[in-house]
Amino acid sequence: MKASAFLYPWDIVGDPDAAARVADLGVGQVTLAAAYHSTRALTPRHPGRRIVTAEHAAVLYPVDAGRWAGRELRPYAQSWVASDDPYAEAAQALTDAGLEVHSWVVLAHNSRLGADHPDTSVVNAYGDRYPWAPCIAQPAVRAYLVELAGEAAVRGGTRGTELESCGWYGFAHLHAHDKIAGVGLGDAAQYLMSLCFCSDCRTGYGEHGLDADELSRAVCAALEPVWAGSGSSEAGWSGVEKLLGADLAAATLEFRGQVARTLQESAVAAVRAAAAEDFQVLLHADPAPYRSGANVGVDPQHILSVADGVVLPCTGGDAARETVLGPFAGRSDRVVAANFTVVGGMGGSPATLERDAAHAVSLGADQLRLYHAGLASDPDLRTVAEALSRLGR
């Protein structure tokens, strides 16, 4: 079974031993960030630093100036890695260590874009903007994301790509000094808080038979019990229907699903147009179409007709894995990669990786993803290497 470890270029650049350490884990592939959101990241083994602060979303390579000439929305350059092309430098070191490199491209998650261009952001039913969440119903945003996918995915020496946040982003976000836990929101309330009411979405709702003002009022009314302390634990699509009503819920999902599907089709087509014939395109996904975030909600049948496969969040118990992997079972013609967090301090469980991976395989997974080889401690990585060794026997 192929296993790939996630990495940032700054985990490799400036550390001559890093690529060999990753290869020694027993993985055959690395998923290397080419376009990424803002973050503060630990580098526990780097000889020259311990913390990298990526202050804003950026690409980790020099952009093609001609491609972006005249465009108002364009990628931001990074300044926190001492390299003219961090991605290329890291990719070369990893390739030299015998590892296959695939790019990791984050699309609709960009706080800097929302700060510089507020009108591009998702607007909730209360009128609050989410600067981290570009609204994918807006033509200018869609054009930017598709162009970014076509450029960032296909870097030199790269054999494939994984597109993250290729769909709706919404309320959920680990923001600086987040203080949003006072009222626990189940995923039904999260869905309602993620519905967008920018001018383009308002038009889109109208095209699906909805009055945007009435929908906004309905969403706010549906959330009132949540703020009062009841209804916050409603889960699943049935929970959304309970809060908003089945007809309204279905109409919002129809609109949002159409927007997401066409964006995914366009982004994958842009990558394929720029890549070699055997270039692999995967999508970070969740089989519940109403979900938003890094693992975007998809229609399983549709996404497997568009991309070469999916990367699915599999950290958690057996029931959670069954829910996520079940809709993709039986597709031997497509990649179904089970993604496990292997950083103990971030909720991962390296000690159960062998057992959890075997369970994922029994449910139809044919590849593993390990998040994240640069962030994990030495004991976590030793445990991962032991598990991969036993799985490979």
pLDDT at position 153 = 98
pTM: 0.97
Output the tens digit of pLDDT for each of the chain's 393 residues.
Answer: 899 999 999 999 999 999 999 999 999 999 999 999 999 999 999 999 999 999 999 999 999 999 999 999 999 999 999 999 999 999 999 999 999 999 999 999 999 999 999 999 999 999 999 999 999 999 999 999 999 999 999 999 999 999 999 999 999 887 777 877 788 888 999 999 999 999 999 999 999 999 999 999 999 999 999 998 876 778 899 999 999 999 999 999 999 999 999 999 999 999 999 999 999 999 999 999 999 999 999 999 999 999 999 999 999 999 999 999 999 988 889 999 999 999 999 999 999 999 999 999 999 999 999 999 999 999 999 999 999 999 985
Q: Are 166 and 302 in contact (CB under 8 A)?
A: no
Say how many Å lie between the first and final Cα of the chain, rounded. Answer: 11
> In the structure encoding, which two tokens stand for residue 241, read together?
């229907």
Residue 185: inside a domain: no
Listed residue (183, 185, 203) closest to 194, CA to CA: 185
Please give the Cα distance from 52 to 39 (Å, whole number).
8
Could you tell me the CA-to-CA distances from 212 to 8, 102, 120, 242, 358 in Å, in that order? 41, 41, 18, 20, 47
How many domains is the chain partitioned into structurally?
1
Does any domain span residue 366? Answer: yes
Residue 321 lies in a domain: yes
For residue 134, the domain's CATH number is 3.20.20.80
- For residue 225 the two structure tokens come to 């019990």
- Beta carbons within 8 Å of 97's beta carbon, 6+ residues apart: 19, 20, 22, 23
Taking CA atoms, 364 is separated from 256, 312, 359, in Å, by 28, 12, 9
pLDDT at position 392: 84
Q: What is the pLDDT of residue 231?
A: 67
The answer to whether the beta carbons of residues 101 and 91 sit under 8 Å apart is yes
pLDDT for 185 equals: 87
Phi, psi (degrees; rounded to nearest 5) at 257: -65, -40
Helices (H), 208-245: 212-227, 236-244
Euclidean distance between CA atoms 321 and 270, whole angstroms? 31
Question: How many Å separate Cα 364 from the centre of its chain?
Answer: 21
Domain span holding position 44? 2-179+257-392
In a domain, 212, yes or no: no
Give me the helices (H) in the chain, please: 9-12, 18-24, 65-68, 86-96, 111-116, 139-152, 187-194, 199-207, 212-227, 236-244, 246-274, 300-306, 318-325, 353-362, 378-392
- With respect to residue 187, please indicate whether it lies within any of the assigned structural domains: no
The pLDDT value given to residue 173: 81
d(CA 64, CA 139): 22
Helix (H) or strand (E) holding 282, with range, is strand 280-286
197 is a domain residue: no
Residue 85 placed within a domain: yes
How high is the pLDDT of residue 393? Answer: 58
In a domain, 238, yes or no: no
